Each structure stands twice: as structure tokens, then as C-alpha cells.
Structure 1
Amino acid sequence: MHIADGVLPAWVSATGWAVTAPGVALSLRKLPAEEVPRMALLTAAVFLASLIHVPLGPTSVHLILNGLAGILLGPLAFLAFFVALTLQALLFQFGGIFSLGVNTLVMGGPAFLVGWLSRRVPGLRKPLPAGLLGGAAVLVSGVFLALALSLAGEGFVSVAKLALGVHLPVALVEGIITGLVVLLLQRLRPEILVALLLLFLLPAPSQAHRLDADVFLTPQGIRVEAYFPDGTPARDDLVTVYCGDQKVAQARTDQQGVALLPRPRNCPQARIVVSGALGHRAVRTLKLASAPSPTPSQPAPPPGPKKEPFPWRGVLSGLGFIFGLAGLILAWDTRRRLKDLASSGN
């Protein structure tokens, strides 16, 4: 669901920012201080939920929770998604700064629509309608994502269709989650429920869906191993080798996430771009001129799953930032109210 920088044309990314920036400014202006703690909790839940990566076919999907956030926060859910996506772009390089506007519209736009509808039709905040809204929000995000990717060129049309299809099971799961959460809200305080949701998401044994790649110079050519941080091979991803701005070779990864491409001639440094589904992208450089000449006795690096430790430091930093920001806003508002009380007493 996160589109990386460089995937979309510049005018699409600029248009996304042109719509997102006023929306964020308006949300900040209308944000009541008493809603800040709830927004901080839900922003943290969204931040963690999208770190849960589930392989599905040649790509991966994650929870979005935009329907649930819209029901609990109203139109202000748009701001929660902007904060969460900004932290993910800065801490984990999910998406990008230039594509942040489009990513916010893709995930936060449906949350805004759900929040606007649920505030004007109170009956939609009952468990069954809320569950339907939660599932519909994911489908709308899938449509927005497919539309954005289709604007990237003809090469992304098939990816856009895949993006819409793989989010059908996610919509079903999120519809059930949203309905159950709204049902539990009738018996628990919202703050307690969201805190429990955070405790459930934090220890989840899942990894983020950033696309990684290792490149090697072998006697057979350039070997590329593409994978997700949980060790899942990135299958059937497009690998392109550039010498400067000229494309010199292209291939797709196999079932082990490996691609072998010929070594370009008269090229001191190659740039290897791995383009995955749903906008995932990894770029690596490989020096060729200074590389030692390989010999037949040098074996190719053995393929195998890579696995990175869960980024606890980044997650805790993001949560600390969210709650610290909420505390600063509350402290500022409390000080302002005390001054108003003091002036009214005089």
C-alpha cells in the first residue's frame, strides 16, 4: 500500500501533496485538545498495524484500519494517517516524502470519508454497518492505489489490477475487526480498547514489507537476490540494470527471489533497480571496473532467506514521538486554560 518515491510521475505526486497539505492544515485547525489522546492512541495503532506484513501471492499486504479510525475519530482520522505515514517514511523508508501526499490520500482519504459519513448518520456506528464501512474503506483504498499506479505508465497497469485484487481478503478481515471493535465499544471505554489493541499489535511476530535486495558479481554475471525483511523471497519482480541512464539488461526473479543478468560491457558502475508489486522498489549500485575478475573457483553466494530483527528501536521511537507530541499539545492547552481561568478570576 506504500508507494515509493520515483514510482509515480512528478505531477501525480505533486497533485497528491496539493490535496493533502490543505487537508492536514484544516485538520490541525479543527483538532480539539480533548481529542489529542485518542488520536495519539489510534495513530500508534495505525503505525503498528501497517508493520504487520502478510505474504500473499507475489506481493504482501498489511492491515490499514482506516475504517476503524474513521469511525472512532471522524474526519480527523485523515490527520492520524498523515502522522503515521510520515513517521514510517522517516524511520523505515516506507513510501517516501515526495509520494507522502498520494499515500496519505490512498489510506487516509477513505478514513476521512468513513468519519464524515458516520458523524452525519449515527446509525452507521452500530456493529454491522461499521463492519461494512471498515471493509469498504479498504476496497476504496485499493481503488485509489490502483488508480495511482495506473497513472505511472502502462507497465504498472497489471500491478494496479493486482493491487485491487489482493486487498479483497484484507477488506473482509478488516470488516470483521471493525465490527467487533465497535461491538466491544459498547462495553469498554474507547481508550482502554485501543490500548488493548496496541498490546496485541506490538508483539506481533511480523515484519514490515520493505523490499530489500543484495547484488553480487559472479562469473555468470550479476546476481540479484530480492527479499522482504522476514525472509520471504520477492518472486517475479522485475530487475533492471542501468549503465548511467541507459537500460542494458532486464530479467525477473524466480521462485527463490533470484535473478541472473549479464554483466554490461564498458560500464564502470551499474545501477540495479528491483521493481516489485504495489510500488515496492529497491535500488542498488555495483562497481564493475574495480571489481576483481572472478575465477571459476569462486562459487556464487548461496541463496537463502534473509531475516532482519524486528525494528523495536524504530517502533518505540515512533510511539514515543506520537505520545510526546500529544503530551506537548495537552500541556499547551492546559496552560492556556489556566491563564484564561486566572484572567477571569481577576
Structure 2
Amino acid sequence: MTPIFDPAEFEMPPGVAHLCAGGETPLLRRHADAYARYARDKAAGMPGRSAQEAVVERVRARMAALWQVEAGDIGFVSSVAEGVSLLAESLAFRPGDNIVLDVKEYPSVAAPFAMKRGGPALRIAEGQAAGRLEALVDERTRVIAVSAVSYLNGERFDLAPLRALADRVGALLVVDFTQAAGYLRIEAGIADFAFAASYKWLLGVTGVATAYWNRARQPGWTPGSAGWHSLDSMARPDYAGPLALRPDALRFTRGNPAHLPLYILDGALDYLAQHDAAALEAHVLGLTAALRQGLAAAGIASTTPAEPSRQAASVTVDTAGSEALVAALEDRGVMAWGGRGRIRFSFHGYNGAEDLDRLLQDFPRLWRESQRAAA
């Protein structure tokens, strides 16, 4: 379990076990060059703007290749919350319609539908059974909204049965790939719409998220709002007639794309492309399985599903005082992510067996001490 990435290529102190990719990954040192390149282009007048737009198109092509879709299916929003909100606002519902999602779904996916006035009923799946979402779908289901991997407990969902059900009842399958993109191989075409933030395993920063529109499945989709960048004629629109939108997924991008975060994402995708995707996925999943085994040996129950097919890059433990546990681990050179009643350990290509050993050296004792204190 030697790291696939060189940890020295990241902005993190040497000797630190960085196990919080599910929250934030450390910055690649190469991103300093992206900042500098953006600064030069921004100061270069109209040729500089053309250079910025070339970066937008290059990132579209790279994300499309990563997700095995067409470049025209890829657009950009500021966040997953903005993308799902734009989608939710565009949909019309009838009385009796419903939306299916999990009780542990990320707020950026669930809240836009929950807040929609006059919207459909929410059907909330409870528990951890593998088919719990499918069990709630019926002929009045209009949207199945799911994170490919749960932020809360690291559970990986099988999207194929959800796709089949969505087709059977005429529902949309909306997927958030944030906790999967960057280490799991993704076929985004299984979804009608999909999104992913950039600042986790994709090694980018906040400010830009990928938005995928499956134009083959949903050719007539039209957002409920627009801006200059999402119009087909951006120069001098004819406001006297109906406004024509761009024919591709950049109709998601109403205003200027976030050029600086896209320069950074461009460099991050270039870095990821230098490493074998299958090897990276196997490496990360191997670390996840090894940590689950280590926790079980120490008598610590994980809330991440035990089946390998339902595991991804994160392992979680429900516990009171998770923030204090995170702080105690940081004092020992191990970085984790706390809050929401659980502590989460997430792996990426810069992690290896040494990080795992350091965590298992201290965490079981610290966890037992916290349990005794809580009792």
C-alpha cells in the first residue's frame, strides 16, 4: 500500500497522515502555476479572455472523458447546491407526485426539492438495506435523487437498479458524484442529470462544480432562468422574441464561469490523468477495506456498510464528541473529519499503509477514552 501520489507534491506538512479527503484534500503545489497563468491571462485583454474560454473547453473535454460522456453534456455551476436548485426550479409537478431520496442524503441534493413550493411529497428511505430506495419508487415518482457515495457514512449506492426503476416509471435519476469523482471510475450516462464538486478527490478548489445533462435522455430540458452566458446568442440578444438557450450543457452556466477555479481544476485533471485510474481506485478501496478490518479487530463498529461493493473511499464511526476526537488525532499528526455525530476517515492516492498504521496506533485508545467520558 505504497502511496500512488507523491505526498511531497501536496501542500501538507511532512509526516502528517491526511485522512480527510471527504471534507477537503490538500492543495497540489502545481496549482501555484495555475494561479500565475490565470493572472497573466486576466491582464491580457481580449486575447486573455479567449485564453480563459479555451481553459473552460479543455476542462469540459477532460471531465467528459473522465465521466465517459460527450463534452457538450458538461457544464459548470458554482456548487452542487446551485446546480440541483436550477434543475429543481425547472421541473413542473402534479398533485400526488413524489421524490425518493435517502434520509442521509446531502442537503445540497435534498434541500432544493424539499424547499420547492407546491412541490411533490418527499419519500425518505430509512435504514441501511441495499434496496431501500427502490422500495419507495412507484408510478408517481418523478425524481430519484441520490449521492453515488454518501457523505455521512461512505456508503456506495448501486445506481443500475435505480436507473432501471426510473425508466420503468418515467422518473429522473439525479446523481451527486462529489464523493466518488476523482478516484472511482464513473459512467455518468446512467443519470439524467449529475453533479460533482471539485474540491475533494478531484483535487480542485471551491467555486466550481461540474453539471452533467444527459441530452440523449432529456433532450427537451430547459432551465427556468438564464443569463448572458447561457444564451445561444450572447452578443446582442433579441429581447422582443423568445430567448434561445445554448444547445449544450453550458446552459447551466448563466454567468461567467469561475475561471480561476477552472484553471486549477484543469491542472488537477492533468495530474490525475498521469496516474492509472484502475490502480488508483483499487488502492483507495484497499485502504478502506484494511481500515474496516483494523477497526473491527479493535472492537470498534463502523457505520460504513460491510459489503465491499458498497464501500468507497471513506470509513465512518458514529460517536459522540467527534470534534474532540479529531482534535486529539491532530495533536498526534493524524487529520480526520468530524461532526454530524460521526468521525470520518477518507483516503486518496497520497495515502498509504503508514497512514493507516498511525491511525490504528492511536484511534482505538482515544475512542475508548471518549466513550468512557461520554458514559
Does TM, normalized by the shorter one, top 0.5? no
TM-score w.r.t. structure 2 length? 0.22
TM-score w.r.t. structure 1 length? 0.24
* Higher relative contact order (CA closer than 8 Å, sequence separation 6+): 2
Bigger Cα Rg: 1
